[in-house]
Amino acid sequence: MTERLAITPLRYRPDVEQIEPDEPQIARDLAETMLSIAQKTYADSGHAMRCVHAKSHGLLAARLEVLADLPPELTQGIFSKSQSYACVIRLSTTPGDLLHDSVSTPRGMALKVLDVEGARLPGSEGSSNQDFVLANGKEFNSPSGEAFLKNLRMLALTTDRIEGLKELISKVFRGMEYIVEAVGGQSAMLKALGGNPPTHILGESFYSQVPIRYGDYVAKVGVVPASDNLRALANARLDIGKDSNAIRHEVEHFFAEDTAIWHLQIQLCTDLDAMPVEGISPWDEKTSPFITIARIIVDPQQAWNEERSNTVDDGMRFDPWNGVEAHQPLGSIMRLRKLAYEKSAAFRSQRNATPVTEPLSCPFTRREPGLEAILPTEKRIPANRNVLSPD
């Protein structure tokens, strides 16, 4: 039996957004700055990478199952009925260059839901998929478009700099973040600069940070661990001092045998004054809690290999503007990133052997080599060798 919501969500209308006159220029400057990062890494490596989130740690085939008997306010867009979708998940960290994992930066989860129905957002008419781009924090690291551009320019200046110095700076910022968290706080800026605690990526929760349209309403999106094996990894520290790909190796170990389940949740806006669309601060969860609307299931598989990297890292883009009108990105941060996403994908597509395209089906459903063939016993890295202990 369908239960009624305990809150009254705000109805979407176009004027929930307040577009500033200088946004087009800031968007161009952002796109130019992001491309400068890609140009630097391309000049060094001869391979075109993402301007941000260049390093992947898991490339996963998944399925998203929309729950049955949801209240009508929750049956919106691609979640309008109980059904199952094939998905691709990309787990990553934020820098635009490939760094040792001891440079500990925020983590991302990009989710591509395949073969969805609905009127398309402008520019995505050639796709039939819906993308969600999420990070492991509820607050975006820049309070305005101008601040976003300033911080990105600082990041661009550090691209291609001495990695050892970045590791040292990251260690300093992690220490500062530990102090902040010890008194019950968090700093999105410290984490963005390399102070993200070196925890297991599969124990993280991921959030859209800024809102999207949710059919007739407005919402933020969250993906949180649901299965016990994921919950057990919350705050588990990794030893990132020796293994440059510690995060990736732990993801590979996990999915060699285990199944993961996340809950996909939404937090509905109930009051524009208290929960502004143009703001970046977390919305009050006492006023409007996150509500589970679907589950994401990832079965055992080879979580990362060169073939998957060619297919996903090179051949796919994850863009919140690649989707249906019912899930239109909202707010200045979302609007400002649109051009950068487009130009980044075009830059990679024009330079790499694998062009950027939209998949029609999950590229991993074809038969892949068995896990024993990929990870022979004598070469298999001991399970959880980098995991230290929960915080």
pLDDT of residue 160: 56
The sign of the CA dihedral 215, 216, 218, 224 is negative
Q: Cβ(208)–Cβ(242) under 8 Å?
A: no
Map tokens 């990553």 to a residue: 92
pLDDT of residue 109: 98
pLDDT of residue 53: 93
Strands 291-298 and 387-390: unpaired
What pTM value is reported for the model? 0.86
Measured CA to CA, the distance from residue 254 to residue 177 in angstroms comes to 28
pLDDT digits (tens, 9 = 90+) for 16-63: 999 999 999 999 999 999 899 899 889 989 999 998 899 999 999 999
Q: Cβ(231)–Cβ(225) under 8 Å?
A: yes
Measured CA to CA, the distance from residue 354 to residue 48 in angstroms comes to 10
* Third-level CATH fold of 14-368: Catalase HpII,  Chain A, domain 1 (2.40.180)
**Angle subtended by helix axes 332-351 and 145-158, to nearest 10:** 30
Positions in the chain short of pLDDT 70: 1-3, 155, 157-195, 365-391
What's the mean per-residue pLDDT of the chain?
Answer: 85
